[in-house]
Structure 1
Amino acid sequence: MQIELIETFLDLCETRSFNRTAERLGVTQSTVSGRISALEKALGQKLFDRSRSGTQPTLQGLRFEPHARGLRHGWTEARHAVGDAGSRPATIRIGIQHDLVNAHFSDLIAAFRLSLPDTAFFFEADYSAQMCADLTTGKEDLAILFSPRFHPDLYFETLGEVTYVMVSTEVERLEEVRRETYILPHFSDAIPHAHAALHPTLVDASLSIGQNAAMVALLRSMGGTAYVMQSSVADLTADRTCRLIPDAPPITQTVFAGVNQRFRHRPVHRRLLACLRDHFAFARQPEPRRPARGVRA
Structure 2
Amino acid sequence: MECANLQVPRRGDGYQTPAKRSVHNDQPASEIRSMQKRVRELGLGDWDDVRVFLAVTRSGSFSRAAEMLGATQSTVSRRIQSLEERLGAKLFDRHAQGMRPTPAARAVIRRAELMETQAQSIERALVGSDMETQGSVRVTGTEGILSCWLVPRLQPFREDFPEIRIELIIADKPLNLGAREADIALRFGEPADPRLISRELGQVHFGLFAARTYLERCGQPESFTDLRDHAILNHSNYYDADTDDVWRRLIDDHAQLPLHTNSSISYLHAVRHGLGIGLLPLYIDGVAPELVSLDLNIGYVRDLFMVTHRETDKRARIQALTQYVKTLAEQGLHHWFL
Name 1:224's counterpart in structure 2: 276
SS in 2 for 1:249: coil
Distance of 1:51 and 1:37 partners within structure 2: 14
Normalised by the length of structure 1, the TM-score is 0.63
Name 1:183's counterpart in structure 2: 233
Normalised by the length of structure 2, the TM-score is 0.57
Structure 2 residues without counterparts, runs of 5 or longer: 5-47
Q: Is the 8 A contact 2:137 2:165 kept in 1?
A: yes
Q: 1:157 aligns with which of 198, 204, 214?
A: 198
Distance of 1:214 and 1:273 partners within structure 2: 28
| Gap change, CA 1:132 and 1:9, over 3 Å in 2 | same
Matched, 1:123 2:166: yes
Q: 2:257 aligns with which of 186, 195, 205?
A: 205
Equivalent pairs counted in the alignment come to 269
Following superposition, the deviation at residue 184 of structure 1 comes to: 0.6
Per-residue CA deviation, residues 114-136 of structure 1 (Å, 9 max, x unaligned), is 9xx66722234442258826x56
Letter in 1 for 2:144: D
| Gap change, CA 1:174 and 1:228, over 3 Å in 2 | same
Name 1:132's counterpart in structure 2: 175
Aligned CA-pair RMSD: 4.9
Name 2:116's counterpart in structure 1: 68
Per-residue CA deviation, residues 10-49 of structure 1 (Å, 9 max, x unaligned), is 3234324445324545633x7534423423555x487956
Following superposition, the deviation at residue 157 of structure 1 comes to: 2.0
Q: Is the 8 A contact 1:131 1:140 kept in 2?
A: no
Distance of 1:149 and 1:10 partners within structure 2: 25
Q: Is the 8 A contact 2:124 2:312 kept in 1?
A: no
SS in 1 for 2:108: helix
Structure 1 residues without counterparts, runs of 5 or longer: 286-297
Name 1:99's counterpart in structure 2: 144
Q: How do 1:19-98 and structure 2 match up within 5 A?
A: 20-22=64-66, 24-25=68-69, 27-28=72-73, 31-42=75-86, 44=87, 50=93, 54-55=100-101, 58-71=106-119, 90-95=134-139, 97=141, 98=143
Distance of 2:167 and 2:311 partners within structure 1: 22
Distance of 1:250 and 1:108 partners within structure 2: 29
Matched, 1:9 2:53: yes
Q: Is the 8 A contact 1:196 1:203 kept in 2?
A: no
Identity %: 15
Matched, 1:244 2:286: no
